[in-house]
């Protein structure tokens, strides 16, 4: 199976959907923030490994605690994923912190500050 095939894309989406449900409803680790998003999942073509990109709304400390909690409960999450999905192999999940949303918000604020300091443009008459 190729990496960008239709089958692999469907598997990525289904794993992402189930993974987000498992984290939201079944994982009871107090370190995991209640506002966690699974942004994307990349399952290897051989279905042995997967990378899950996680975003957390909050501070850097919340992100680190959530990542620790997810890594600690990776075995439980994998078992629940195996119960929910009918795949030949259940992938080992590697959780990666995705800070692209926070970076985008920071850049937007910086652009707004720069635009606020500029004088208003004069209209031509």
Say which residues have a Cβ less than 8 Å from residue 88's Cβ, sequence separation at least 6.
47
Those residues with Cβ within 8 angstroms of residue 29's Cβ, 6 or more apart along the chain or in another chain: 69, 70, 72, 73
Q: Give pLDDT tens digits for 33-85.
A: 888 999 999 999 888 999 999 999 888 899 999 999 999 999 999 999 999 99
Q: In this structure, is residue 62 part of a structural domain?
A: yes
Task: List, in order, residues 6 or more apart from 119 with CB less than 8 Å away.
Answer: none
Q: Is residue 37 part of a domain?
A: yes
Q: How many domains does the chain have?
A: 1
Residue 72 within any structural domain of the chain: yes
pLDDT greater than 90 at residue 86: no
Domain presence at residue 123 = no
Considering only residues 3 and 101, tell me which one the structure prediction assigns the higher pLDDT: 101
Residue 124 belongs to a domain:
no
- Is residue 26 included in any domain, yes or no? yes
Sheet strands (E) in 1-125: 36-43, 49-56, 92-97
pLDDT tens-digit readout, 5-35: 898 899 999 999 999 999 999 999 999 988 8
Give the pLDDT of residue 122.
Answer: 57
35 found inside a domain: yes
Q: Closest Cα partner for 70 from 81, 54, 91, 58?
A: 54
Please check whether residue 125 lies inside any domain of the structure: no
pLDDT at res. 91: 93
Place of tokens 């075995």: 75
CATH value at residue 47:
3.30.300.20
Domain containing residue 95: 6-117
Confidence at residue 123, expressed as pLDDT on a 0 to 100 scale: 53
């Amino acid at each position: 199976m190729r990496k960008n095939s239709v089958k692999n894309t469907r598997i990525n989406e289904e794993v992402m959907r189930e993974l987000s449900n498992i984290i939201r409803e079944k994982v009871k680790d107090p370190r995991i923030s209640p506002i966690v998003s699974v942004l994307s999942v990349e399952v290897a073509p051989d279905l042995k490994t997967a990378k899950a990109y996680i975003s957390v709304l909050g501070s850097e400390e919340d992100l680190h605690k959530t990542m620790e909690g997810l890594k600690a409960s990776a075995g439980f999450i994998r078992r629940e994923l195996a119960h929910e999905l009918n795949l030949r192999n259940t992938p080992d999940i590697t959780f990666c912190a995705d800070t692209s949303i926070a970076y985008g918000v920071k850049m937007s604020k910086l652009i707004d500050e720069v635009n606020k300091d500029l004088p208003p443009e004069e209209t031509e008459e």
